[in-house]
Amino acid sequence: MSQVPIQFKLNGQDKAEFIDEAATLLSVLRGKVGITSPKAGCEQGTCGTCSVLIDGELRLSCITLAQTCAGASIETVEGMDTDGKLHPLQQAFLDRFAAQCGFCTTGMLMAAKALLDKNPNPTREEVVDAISGNICRCTGYEPIIEAILDATGGSAGSYRRA
Ligand code: FES
Ligand code: FES
């Protein structure tokens, strides 16, 4: 398979790599640049555990051709904390025990961040809708929904994009 050059931003840092022309973004992140938060679950676009943000939009990295990300800004959970301080969503997931095995958690965090970055005060229904593409086999979803609502700061609307 021929190699092609690609440049993109990853969690705010410039990256330049040579990749297989048919490589998925998931394989490039995990195999080339050492980003392991997006998980290889179904690898066919149905479980959400490989979710990342591309230019602020929630995307499934397992079915995204890496080449199409040239020039894009990619966010993963590795970039969520600020100066060692957890992102409000990460803290809320901890406080609400919203992770058990943790396999879905990074995808859930990405789906939640995509929502809150655009809509800092979502309704419960909007939260449920936002994570509807992410499968969790452990938690029953309630702690995850509660955590995301907690991260909004309730009606005070204290969520700040980070
Ligand atoms: S691994 Fe990408 S959607 Fe399941
Ligand atoms: S915490 Fe195990 S799959 Fe969600």
pLDDT digits (tens, 9 = 90+) for 110-158: 999 999 999 999 999 999 999 999 999 999 999 999 999 999 975 444 5
In our burial notation (b when 16+ CB lie closer than 10 A, e otherwise), range 152-162 reads: beeeeeebeeb
Question: Helix, strand or coil for residue 70?
Answer: coil
CATH number at residue 132: 1.10.150.120
What is the Rg, in whole angstroms, of the alpha carbon atoms belonging to the chain?
Answer: 16
Determine, yes or no, domain membership for 82: no
Q: Of 24, 47, 77, which one is at a domain's C-terminal end?
A: 77
The reported pTM is 0.94
Closest atom, ligand 1, to C-alpha of 51: 2
Task: From 24, 28, 62, 136, give the residue whose CB has the most ligand 1 atoms within 8 Å, as the site to mutate.
Answer: 62
Determine, yes or no, domain membership for 49: yes
Eight-state DSSP code of residue 96: T
The total of structural domains in the chain comes to 2
Same domain, 49 and 100: no
Contact 61, 29 (CB under 8 A): yes
Q: What is the pLDDT of residue 155?
A: 46
Secondary element (H or E) of residue 9:
strand 3-10
Same domain, 113 and 49: no
Task: From 42, 136, 144, give the residue whose CB has the most ligand 2 atoms within 8 Å, as the site to mutate.
Answer: 136
pLDDT digits (tens, 9 = 90+) for 51-79: 999 999 999 999 999 999 999 999 999 99
pLDDT digits (tens, 9 = 90+) for 14-48: 999 999 999 999 999 999 999 999 999 999 999 99
Enclosing domain of residue 14? 3-77
